[in-house]
């Protein structure tokens, strides 16, 4: 449910797929009004990323709590309407390929003179300038070039994961504006943000010269995943302090390993990680996952089930924290989403809003700018805007 932390902030979002919409959705979760501008006739391609009646669940999650204005930015009238909105806005978010915003007349240098308090957030694949600026990019490429995939993936069988947010940069710029009275430009890229995300791992390489791989982190953390008797996985983390290693050995009935020179010190255990895993693996075939977790809890061992998504959303702790929210959509019926990553005390909250149909708020937003119903209908006939069909 959105809180009212940014209730007086208006965000104009001209972005598609994940990066820009995700950043803007975080601001919407904090109560900002987010107007998403989409190109008619089809809008954000992420609407159709997975088959569903009106929009994909991927799109729905990233665009809840927003309004949709279907507007042709390549037309003079469309650009004029966009600029009129930006004149009164606080934040502009775009993830066009570098140079596109400038060609549309929506670059930072143009808009900063229209609204000197505007926070302009630009998100790209590899940066606005430089040898890779013109390359097309998606999250997988940023993760690969930043080194993230190399520390998360078996390079013989690579898999993909990822996400990105520019919201914290926008919030920092909004706070700075309170002191200076001026807006600013916030830039990030898939490459920059992802490399920053794994800065701790990069710092280890920069200090030691040792290239980390997928096992580097788990070896250093002394983390293991095992299959229990019932075939269900669980994870144990026994890095520091030393007591966790000792209580773990007690819980699995292998206190004999405490005096084994191969495992007697933290560095020795890291050097013999695979051997230690082989020594312990047979023990886990003697009990179910639930039995092991109960035993570990009794011995104060850091352990948890390795869940699939069905198990995650049905977990009692997830239910207790209210992390899954439900909203009624007029056409799609009940929709469920994972809510914001943070909770606030003493801030008023409102019900989550469903993601918009393409152009659902077009007429309302244009009316706020002074357009009559006849003028809106004329723009729709010209293909400059699109109005959602009720």
pLDDT tens for each residue of 63-121: 999 999 999 999 999 999 999 999 999 999 999 999 999 999 999 999 999 999 999 99
Q: Which CATH number goes with the domain that contains 231?
A: 3.30.1540.10
pLDDT of 149 over the 80 cut? no
Active site residue 329: no
The verdict on residue 211 lying in a domain is no
Q: Which CATH number goes with the domain that contains 338?
A: 3.40.50.10540
The verdict on residue 123 lying in a domain is yes
pTM to 2 decimals?
A: 0.84
Identify whether residues 171 and 46 lie together within a single domain. yes
The verdict on residue 273 lying in a domain is yes
Residues 6+ apart with CB under 8 A from 33: 9, 10, 11, 67
Inter-residue contact 82 to 37 (CB < 8 Å): yes
Backbone angles phi, psi at 350, to 5 degrees: -130, 165
Write out the two tokens for 329: 């959509």
Identify the active-site residue in 222, 237, 320, 329.
222
The verdict on residue 83 lying in a domain is yes
The verdict on residue 15 lying in a domain is yes
Of the listed ranges 29-33, 186-190, 342-346, the one predicted with least confidence: 342-346
The verdict on residue 53 lying in a domain is yes
pLDDT tens for each residue of 323-365: 999 999 988 899 999 988 888 888 888 888 999 999 999 999 9
Residue with tokens 């002394």: 222
pLDDT tens for each residue of 260-275: 999 999 899 989 999 9
Domain count, the chain: 2
The verdict on residue 203 lying in a domain is no
**Average pLDDT value for residue range 235-248:** 89
pLDDT range class, residue 378, cuts 50, 70, 90: very high
Identify whether residues 171 and 53 lie together within a single domain. yes
pLDDT of 135 over the 90 cut? no
Q: Residue 254 is part of which domain span?
A: 222-312
**Average pLDDT value for residue range 289-303:** 94
Identify whether residues 262 and 368 lie together within a single domain. no
pLDDT range class, residue 144, cuts 50, 70, 90: confident
Backbone angles phi, psi at 292, to 5 degrees: -65, -45
**Three-class SS of 244-270:** HHHHHHHHHCCHHHHHCCCCCCHHHHH
- Last residue of some domain: 312, 332, 363? 312
Identify whether residues 85 and 30 lie together within a single domain. yes
pLDDT of 152 over the 80 cut? no
pLDDT range class, residue 155, cuts 50, 70, 90: low
Would you say the C-alpha torsion 6, 9, 10, 12 has a positive or negative sign? negative
User: Which residues sit opposite 67 in a β-bridge?
Assistant: 35
The DSSP code for 196 is: H
Write out the two tokens for 152: 């998360």
Q: What percent of the chain has pLDDT over 70?
A: 96
């Amino acid at each position: 449910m959105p809180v009212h932390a940014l209730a007086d902030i208006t965000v104009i979002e001209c972005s598609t797929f994940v990066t820009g919409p995700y950043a803007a959705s975080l601001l919407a979760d904090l109560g900002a009004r987010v107007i998403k501008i989409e190109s008619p006739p089809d809008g954000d391609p992420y609407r159709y990323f997975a088959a569903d009646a009106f929009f994909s669940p991927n799109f729905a999650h990233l665009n809840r709590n927003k309004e949709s204005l279907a507007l042709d930015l390549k037309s003079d009238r469309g650009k004029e309407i966009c600029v009129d909105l930006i004149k009164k806005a606080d934040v502009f978010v775009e993830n066009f390929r570098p140079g596109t915003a400038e060609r549309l007349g929506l670059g930072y240098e143009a808009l900063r003179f229209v609204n000197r308090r505007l926070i302009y957030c630009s998100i790209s694949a590899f940066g606005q300038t430089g040898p890779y600026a013109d390359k097309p990019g998606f999250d997988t490429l940023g993760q690969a070039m930043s080194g993230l995939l190399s520390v998360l993936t078996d390079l013989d069988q690579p898999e993909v994961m990822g996400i990105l947010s520019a919201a914290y940069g926008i919030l920092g710029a909004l706070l700075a504006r309170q002191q200076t009275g001026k807006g600013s430009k916030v830039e990030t890229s898939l490459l920059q943000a992802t490399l920053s995300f794994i800065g701790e791992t990069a710092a280890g390489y920069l200090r030691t010269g040792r290239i980390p791989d997928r096992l580097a982190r788990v070896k250093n953390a002394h983390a293991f995943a095992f299959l229990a008797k019932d075939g269900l996985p669980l994870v144990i983390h026994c890095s520091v302090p030393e007591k966790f290693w000792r209580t773990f050995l007690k819980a699995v009935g292998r206190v004999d390993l405490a005096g084994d020179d191969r495992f007697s010190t933290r560095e020795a255990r890291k050097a013999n990680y695979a051997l230690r895993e082989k020594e312990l693996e047979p023990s886990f075939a003697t009990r179910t996952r639930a039995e092991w977790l109960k035993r570990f809890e009794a011995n104060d061992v850091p352990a948890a089930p390795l869940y699939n998504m069905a198990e995650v959303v049905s977990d009692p702790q997830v239910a207790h924290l209210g992390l899954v929210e439900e909203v009624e959509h007029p056409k799609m019926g009940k929709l469920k989403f994972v809510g914001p990553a943070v909770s606030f005390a003493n801030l008023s909250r409102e019900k989550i809003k469903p993601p918009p149909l393409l152009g659902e708020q077009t007429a309302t937003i244009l009316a706020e700018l002074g357009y009559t119903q006849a003028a809106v209908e004329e723009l729709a006939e010209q293909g400059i805007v699109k109005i959602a069909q009720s």
